[in-house]
């Protein structure tokens, strides 16, 4: 009996058998993922460590560790590069752009997913075009329009394009999530007396929070790091964002690498911290396929 109980047709192992193979697979997986993470994270580590060294030391021993951790380079970069002004502008532009993307994309996704109206297919096709069209394809027309509307050298000259560029992907991600929400849930809310706006605020918006966290992080990274529009639309130093401000550390004949690396560290680390803080919501927004 014991011999027959130890073997199950199909080669399956009975309960209580040693899980050595499964444990080894998990260990191998974690080791592999840690190695991949180190490969991708090494440039950031090198950047931060290089920010504590002098220019001569960076060129003489590029991969050596700094002799001491001195934040003097960071303080000098912050002061000389006027990073406080550029950081304030980046926060304003990025915050307004992300808020606009989340609000408009949430409303649009709700309309496309749960409401039926004439022309919805054509409008979704326009958003699909927005996913594939590069910035250079409409930049000339956009620049002419902003020139006539006097939007250059203003926050609106960056916020509006960032919202427009972020909406297509945001609408598709949020709509895909709302498509998985059972219709019975919304119908029950309508029976209780919810109109379209009340239904969106009370029922749909709480369900969209994980997906909105994902969209918000992606949109914030794109707006925070965008250079082309910020360089062409903003000429006033008081309105420039961080990517444009970093150009001050490089001239035609010389680049102050220790200050450049310090400034890059100052603007990159906060975004990494934000990502770490919201990573659970980002993973939930990307993997959530159905309402539980």
Which distant-in-sequence residues (6+ apart) come within 8 Å of 53 by Cβ? 66, 67, 258
Residue 168, judged by CB atoms within 10 A of its CB (0-12, 13-18, 19+), counts as: buried
The DSSP result for the chain, as a single string, is -HHHHT--TTSPPPTTS--HHHHHHHHHHHHHHHHHHHHHHHHHHHHHHHTTS-HHHHHHSTTSPPSS--THHHHHHHHHTTHHHHHHHHHHHHHHHHHHHHHHHHHHHHHHHH---TTHHHHHHHHHHHHH--GGGTHHHHHHHHHHTT-SSSTHHHHHHHHHHHHHHHHHHHHHHHTTS-HHHHHHHHHTT--HHHHIIIIIHHHHHHHHHHHHHHHHHHHHH--HHHHHH---GGG--HHHHGGGGB-SS-B-HHHHHHHHHHHHHHHHHHHHHHHHHHHHHHH--S--
In a domain, 34, yes or no: no
pLDDT computed for residue 103 by the predictor: 92
Strand partners, 255: 250
**pTM confidence score:** 0.78
In a domain, 19, yes or no: no
HSE-up of residue 146 (Cα within 13 Å, Cβ side): 21
In a domain, 200, yes or no: yes
| pLDDT (tens place) for every residue of the chain, 292 residues total | 444 444 444 444 444 444 455 777 888 888 898 899 888 888 888 988 988 888 888 888 888 888 888 788 888 888 888 888 999 999 999 999 999 999 999 999 888 888 877 877 888 888 888 888 887 778 888 888 998 998 999 999 999 999 999 999 899 888 888 888 777 777 787 887 777 788 888 888 888 887 888 888 889 888 998 988 998 899 888 899 998 888 878 776 678 888 888 888 888 888 888 777 777 766 665 555 444 4
pLDDT computed for residue 286 by the predictor: 58
pLDDT computed for residue 21 by the predictor: 52
In a domain, 17, yes or no: no
Q: Which of 264, 274, 220 is nearest to 81 (CA)?
A: 264
In a domain, 18, yes or no: no
Q: Which of 274, 175, 267, 181 is nearest to 226 (CA)?
A: 267
Q: Which CATH number belongs to the domain containing residue 214 in this structure?
A: 1.10.3720.10
In a domain, 227, yes or no: yes
CA distance 138 to 145: 11
In a domain, 38, yes or no: no
**Structural domains in the chain (count):** 1
Domain limits for position 269: 74-287
Contact criterion met (CB below 8 Å) for 229 and 166: no
In a domain, 4, yes or no: no
């Amino acid at each position: 009996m014991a011999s027959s109980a130890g073997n199950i047709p199909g080669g399956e192992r009975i309960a209580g058998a040693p899980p050595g193979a499964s444990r080894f697979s998990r260990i191998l997986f974690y080791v592999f993922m840690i190695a991949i993470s180190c490969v991708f994270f090494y440039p950031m580590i090198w950047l931060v460590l290089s920010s504590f060294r002098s220019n001569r030391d960076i060129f003489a021993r590029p991969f050596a560790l700094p002799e001491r951790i001195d934040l003097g380079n960071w303080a000098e970069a912050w002061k000389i590069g006027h990073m406080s002004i550029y950081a304030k502008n980046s926060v304003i532009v990025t915050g307004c752009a992300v808020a606009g993307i989340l609000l408009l994309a949430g409303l649009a996704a709700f309309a496309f997913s749960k409401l039926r109206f004439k022309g919805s297919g054509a409008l979704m096709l326009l958003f699909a075009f927005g996913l594939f069209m590069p910035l250079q394809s409409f930049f000339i027309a956009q620049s002419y329009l902003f020139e006539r509307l006097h939007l250059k050298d203003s926050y609106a000259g960056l916020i509006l394009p960032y919202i427009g560029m972020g909406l297509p992907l945001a609408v598709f991600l949020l709509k895909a999530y709302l498509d998985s929400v059972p219709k019975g849930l919304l119908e029950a809310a309508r029976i209780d007396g919810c109109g379209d706006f009340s239904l969106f605020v009370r029922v749909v918006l709480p369900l969209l929070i994980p997906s909105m966290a994902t969209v918000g992080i992606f949109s914030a990274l794109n707006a925070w790091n965008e250079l082309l529009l910020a360089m062409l639309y903003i000429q006033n130093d008081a309105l420039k964002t961080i990517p444009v401000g970093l150009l001050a550390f490089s001239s035609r004949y010389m680049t102050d690498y220790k200050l450049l690396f310090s400034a890059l560290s100052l603007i990159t680390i906060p975004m990494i911290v934000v990502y770490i803080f919201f990573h659970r919501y980002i993973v939930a927004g990307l993997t959530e396929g159905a309402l539980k």
